[in-house]
Amino acid sequence: MMSRRPLHLAHVSDTDPPEVEVIDSYDKAYGFVEVAMELWRLAGRNDRATAIHDVIVSRVDYEPSRLERAQIHELRDLLDGLEQALVGTLTDEEHLLSAAKVEELRGHAKTLDLSDTFGSLARDPRYAVQEALVYVDHLRTIADEALAAGASILFD
């Protein structure tokens, strides 16, 4: 299951203590980072997943915990190529999982929704990666908005 922690775009002053002006907040968006890392792992690219993790944890000790311009660029760059890496290693060209791959992933994929139902509605878990890629696109958008605004990305 994806984390439900938010991410915030904010301007952070260089004063001690820093003053924070939140520009925008994105509920559950920290989970988007987790989705990207899991997709890279499932595509056989643990190096990319680890690099994303390293970017995030490199800034946890800052007050407030945040990614600044260089780390946002690095995160954004680490998302590039993810969709292509999934084709053939995990999904078909339309980013659909095979029924066999769905069964293989059940029980150990943490962020993909591989359930057969959504509430009382039936759903097809073969679309789980397509759905997950929407979160990755949202993460790209958050990074792009932060860069355009000259803002940091804060995590709770």
pLDDT per residue over 68-106, tens digit each?
A: 999 999 999 999 999 999 999 999 999 999 999 999 999
Q: 9 has which bridge partners?
A: 24, 153
Is residue 89 assigned to a domain? yes
pLDDT at residue 121, rounded to an integer: 79
Average pLDDT over residues 36-62: 94
* Domain total in the chain: 1
Instruction: Count Cβ atoms below 10 Å from residue 154 Cβ, excluding itself.
Output: 21
pLDDT at residue 2, rounded to an integer: 64
pLDDT at residue 3, rounded to an integer: 75
Distance separating alpha carbons of residues 131 and 55, to the nearest angstrom = 24
pLDDT at residue 1, rounded to an integer: 63
Q: Are 112 and 38 in contact (CB under 8 A)?
A: yes
pLDDT at residue 60, rounded to an integer: 80
Is residue 2 assigned to a domain? no
Distance separating alpha carbons of residues 93 and 37, to the nearest angstrom = 20
Distance separating alpha carbons of residues 2 and 34, to the nearest angstrom = 7
Is residue 97 assigned to a domain? yes
Distance separating alpha carbons of residues 132 and 128, to the nearest angstrom = 6
pLDDT per residue over 114-154, tens digit each?
A: 999 877 778 899 999 999 999 999 999 999 999 999 999 99
Query: Which one-letter DSSP state was computed for residue 18?
Result: P
Is residue 125 assigned to a domain? yes
Is residue 35 assigned to a domain? yes
Full residue range of the structural domain in which residue 147 is found: 7-155
More confident: 101 or 107: 101
How far is CA 142 from each of CA 48, 85, 147, 153, rounded to the nearest angstrom?
A: 19, 22, 9, 8
Query: Which one-letter DSSP state was computed for residue 23?
Result: E
Average pLDDT over residues 21-31: 94
